[in-house]
Structure 1
Amino acid sequence: MMKAIRIFQLKADERIPSLLFLLLIIFFHSLIISKFFVLFADYDAHNWDVFMNNFHMSGFDPITYSVLTDWHQGYDVIRHPLLAWMMYPLYVFNRLLWWITGVNCCQLLIGVLLIVLSCYSYIFLYRILVEQIGIKRIFAITLTYFFFGCAYILVAILVPDHFAISLFLLLLTLYRSGRKIKQQTSFGVVEAAILFVLTAGVTLSNGIIVAFIVLITNGKSTFSPRFWIPVFLLPTFLLMITGLSLKYGLGEWGNPVQQQMKDVYQYASYTDIVVENFLGESIQLHRQYLLGDVLVRRPVIVRYSWMLQYVVEAILCMLFVWGLWLGRKQRCGWILSVILLYTTILHFVLGFGLNEVYIMACHWVYVIPLGIGYLYRYLPSRVQWTIFGFMLVITLYLWLYHGYLLYHYLTWPLRF
């Protein structure tokens, strides 16, 4: 228990960068909370309708606000079989606060949860870069800030959806994996099962990422029946039974697997989707149709206004591929490659969520700063500092560009 608690304790070199990151995230959360707080403070059905008419944050759903206000299985129970139950303690606490203050505090509670999870996601990513990839702290801070300045990472840790939770669990698993690889130890049955159940319980497809991480970390021992049956087979069976039982119990019939995997990319070319959405919108917002939803008015493909944005995308791709090649002999590098391969197959072969693939950025974009991290480990010092200069400029650009767009977007008056 003490070991589990210790990983959440801040180290001396983490405190100041983490505090600055905390202040930034609190600022953005204050914008989204203040924008809608008037609707939730004195909550009724009419206010919810007004909120839904004004909440347009790409393909993200504000279901969590609804679940904390009036608990129900609001999520897709096939994809998120345990998520509503994870929110239940916060719902109970919200009802208590509502009874005491007369105010629906769901926004505040979700805000605190997302801020805490985001800060620890920052810390785990930073530690992976410093402790496991082995780069200088200044390089690690820049790469970590770069990651959270990416478009659909920054947006995802602000909106009341499940993506920030998934990001925290995936980075926690990666951090634990890196420590075990470095110490030449393996995941135990209990720890692996807990990480798998929590991650898959939030988003079922991410459980496969945890399985890959455990497999590469543990090696052949993963295939022992005494390991994979209690860690993967039995939990997967129970999660699927739970999801199907809840779905059918709620009267939603049909083929749930087909519904989740169907391809709805609306005739856009794969090249356009890769350039503009998968590697584009995930990292840099398009100014046209800003945070628009493809199910409402946004086209699947939107072009950037500045050619420089394509240059930034090309530089990041080049640095990432280069870094991944240099880290190809490291097991952590194998994990990054497998995560990217799995993500590519999930979206581009099976077609899952391809029409708005960028909203899934939290599930995979962390491989980019981690891959670039290997450049700082293996290249000569002069080249390292040159790359640092590029990444510092790109990081500042992302935060200023997205900060400007989000500030104006979140301070736009409500339409009653």
Structure 2
Amino acid sequence: MHIFNIFKVKKEERWLVFIMLAVFLTFNTLLIISHYHVYTMGAHGGFWSIFTKNFRMSGYDNWSWITISGMRIHFMTLRHPLYLTFLYPLYLLNHWLIDIFGYNFAVYFMAIIIVLSAFYAVVFAYRIFREVMGLRQFDATLLTLLLFSFGHILIPSMVPDHFIVSMMFLLMTLYICGKKMKKRELLTAWQSFILTFFTAGMATSNGAKIYLAGLFTNQKKFFTWKYIMIGVILPCILLIGIQQAQYYLLEVPQKAIISNIEKVKKQKDPKGVEEFQKKRNAWQKSHLGQTMSKGSVLDWLDGSTPRSTTLVENFFGESIQLHQRYLLKDVAWDRPVFVAYNWIINYAIEAIMIVLFVMGIIFGWRKRFFQMLLAWFACDITLHLILGFGITEVYIMASGWAFIIPIAYGYLMKGLSHRHRQILRGMLLVITIFLWVYNGGLTANYLLNL
């Protein structure tokens, strides 16, 4: 399999992926028109205020809009080493267009990236069910639609953040490695290089998943000098080099400028700045969990947020079903860490889905492909639930792991008798329809009333 030929859409996939394309285009359009005149202002400077005051969806960042608009870097390139390289050419083009037309095209450029990534995420998800797992066309379609009905799979398909791009690369990796396992072929060193470079480039934590994919696919032959040097070490060196170059060429000079702006602002309105900081710090102290340490890497980790409530309301809750109250609010600004559902049916659906998920694990755990997925899932459990990284808004990480749920359902389908498979199929169809109506309806209503 040539790694770039997989982007060609096959005849069987067309109706599903183009219907989903229409869905993604619709939601991205609703997001842009919600503050159309503000988002497309061609002002030189002031982009941070323009976007942060008007965009707020569940803690997802709009840093990409700000970067493309005015080359201000507010995300951590250490955690996303390739993302700035990805956005910089768009900034140059947009900067030129702003000078000519006085109109900011950043939201359109980012929408193209998000929609294309979501489109191919659907393609690769469907192929995993159909070609890797060997499910019937109806079942593969149903499980793909189920995956994208999840609250925090749907939301990343419209917000200007890296999550759906990252998900697309992870699903592509699963598809490629799943096909390799099925054909008893090896993942080549250069294929590993490409997958690691782009996937870990979007989020460094993804690097561990690519290495696990290579290990499960190649097994003992993973440990060859060629594979280790080209497929593991080389992409790491390049990503570190790119990140460091970006840091010293762009971030260090920017930090000096921002520091001066903050100093001037504080001199002009010391009371206003102090009041804002007090209010902000008071909210975070009373609503967010306590980090393990201050001023170190442990500052990203949280040992105080209750794990059991997190599992119910956020990890398996909000990730799949949005909460009606505090809908799409940001925990760093105006949402409590935990919100209860208004309806008992939400908890009933969550319980059913978890039970089916556990049953799917039992039916699929002997398959090497699913063992690889479980190893990935263990990484997410360790990072978010055990160490507590991002635990107060853990649902926005769902696009990095939630695909294991419908894949587990696929193995459950394959293991059941015809009669029980029909019952499962009916249950999943009802849940899928409910989630699309529920999550899609809440999201559309939110965007239309911004």
**Alignment TM-score > 0.5, same fold:** yes
Aligned: 1:127 with 2:127:
yes
Between the aligned partners of 2:48 and 2:73, the Cα distance in structure 1 is 18
Whether contact under 8 Å (1:39, 1:48) holds in the other structure is no
Question: Which 5+ residue runs of structure 2 have no aligned equivalent?
Answer: 256-292
Whether contact under 8 Å (1:129, 1:373) holds in the other structure is yes
Q: Identify the residue that residue 379 of structure 1 maps to in structure 2.
A: 416
Whether contact under 8 Å (2:305, 2:391) holds in the other structure is no
State the SS of the aligned residue for 2:169.
helix
Between the aligned partners of 2:78 and 2:221, the Cα distance in structure 1 is 30
Whether contact under 8 Å (1:78, 1:256) holds in the other structure is no
Q: Identify the residue that residue 342 of structure 1 maps to in structure 2.
A: 379
Identity %: 34
Between the aligned partners of 1:114 and 1:186, the Cα distance in structure 2 is 31
Shift of 1:46: 5.1
The residue type equivalent to 2:83 in the other structure is: L
Between the aligned partners of 1:284 and 1:274, the Cα distance in structure 2 is 13
Aligned: 1:315 with 2:339:
no
Whether contact under 8 Å (2:39, 2:50) holds in the other structure is no
Q: Identify the residue that residue 24 of structure 1 maps to in structure 2.
A: 23
Whether contact under 8 Å (1:40, 1:103) holds in the other structure is no
Aligned runs of 1:293-372 on 2, under 5 Å?
293-372=330-409
Between the aligned partners of 2:386 and 2:247, the Cα distance in structure 1 is 26
Question: Which 5+ residue runs of structure 1 have no aligned equivalent?
Answer: none
1:3-61, CA deviations, whole angstroms, 9 ceiling, x for partnerless residues? 34431122121111112111111111110011122113332245652432221111111
Between the aligned partners of 1:133 and 1:343, the Cα distance in structure 2 is 23
Aligned runs of 1:85-234 on 2, under 5 Å?
85-99=85-99, 101-234=101-234
The residue type equivalent to 1:17 in the other structure is: L
Q: Which region of structure 1 is more displaced relative to structure 2, 230-239 or 309-318?
A: 230-239
Aligned: 1:34 with 2:33:
yes
State the SS of the aligned residue for 1:218.
helix
Whether contact under 8 Å (1:284, 1:398) holds in the other structure is yes
Q: Which region of structure 1 is more displaced relative to structure 2, 103-112 or 122-131?
A: 103-112
Between the aligned partners of 1:397 and 1:197, the Cα distance in structure 2 is 38
Shift of 1:297: 2.3
Q: Which region of structure 1 is more displaced relative to structure 2, 296-305 or 23-32?
A: 296-305
Shift of 1:323: 1.3
Q: Which region of structure 1 is more displaced relative to structure 2, 48-57 or 220-229?
A: 48-57
1:78-131, CA deviations, whole angstroms, 9 ceiling, x for partnerless residues? 101111001123223333444554421111111111111101100100010011
Whether contact under 8 Å (2:193, 2:234) holds in the other structure is no
Distance 1:239 1:6, change over 3 A: closer
1:237-286, CA deviations, whole angstroms, 9 ceiling, x for partnerless residues? 4434554565577458xx99944763236x43210011111111111111
After the TM superposition, list the runs of 4 or more consecutive aligned residues in structure 1 that deviate by more than 6 angstroms: none
State the SS of the aligned residue for 1:409.
helix
1:275-305, CA deviations, whole angstroms, 9 ceiling, x for partnerless residues? 1111111111111111121111211111111
Q: Identify the residue that residue 8 of structure 1 maps to in structure 2.
A: 7
The residue type equivalent to 1:87 in the other structure is: L
Whether contact under 8 Å (1:130, 1:140) holds in the other structure is yes
Between the aligned partners of 2:299 and 2:222, the Cα distance in structure 1 is 28
Whether contact under 8 Å (1:261, 1:352) holds in the other structure is no
Between the aligned partners of 2:240 and 2:120, the Cα distance in structure 1 is 29
The residue type equivalent to 2:146 in the other structure is: F
State the SS of the aligned residue for 2:2.
helix
1:314-348, CA deviations, whole angstroms, 9 ceiling, x for partnerless residues? 11111112112211221111111111111101112
Aligned alpha-carbon RMSD (Å): 2.3
Aligned: 1:58 with 2:88:
no
Which of 292, 298, 303 aligns to 2:329? It is 292
Whether contact under 8 Å (1:156, 1:164) holds in the other structure is yes
Shift of 1:74: 3.5
Between the aligned partners of 1:8 and 1:207, the Cα distance in structure 2 is 22
Q: Identify the residue that residue 412 of structure 1 maps to in structure 2.
A: 449
Whether contact under 8 Å (2:42, 2:102) holds in the other structure is no
1:187-244, CA deviations, whole angstroms, 9 ceiling, x for partnerless residues? 1111101110111111000111111111101111111222112221343244345545
Whether contact under 8 Å (2:63, 2:73) holds in the other structure is no
The residue type equivalent to 1:114 in the other structure is: I
Aligned: 1:263 with 2:263:
no
Between the aligned partners of 2:127 and 2:294, the Cα distance in structure 1 is 38
Q: Which has the higher contact order (CA 8 A, sep 6+)?
A: 1
- Aligned residue pairs total 410
The residue type equivalent to 1:197 in the other structure is: F
Distance 1:239 1:8, change over 3 A: closer
Between the aligned partners of 2:294 and 2:75, the Cα distance in structure 1 is 14
The residue type equivalent to 2:412 in the other structure is: L
Whether contact under 8 Å (1:81, 1:201) holds in the other structure is yes
Between the aligned partners of 1:256 and 1:134, the Cα distance in structure 2 is 49
Whether contact under 8 Å (1:262, 1:350) holds in the other structure is no
State the SS of the aligned residue for 1:165.
helix
Between the aligned partners of 1:396 and 1:410, the Cα distance in structure 2 is 21
Between the aligned partners of 2:241 and 2:83, the Cα distance in structure 1 is 15
Distance 1:376 1:96, change over 3 A: farther
The residue type equivalent to 2:87 in the other structure is: M
The residue type equivalent to 1:25 in the other structure is: F
Between the aligned partners of 1:338 and 1:256, the Cα distance in structure 2 is 30
Whether contact under 8 Å (2:51, 2:66) holds in the other structure is no
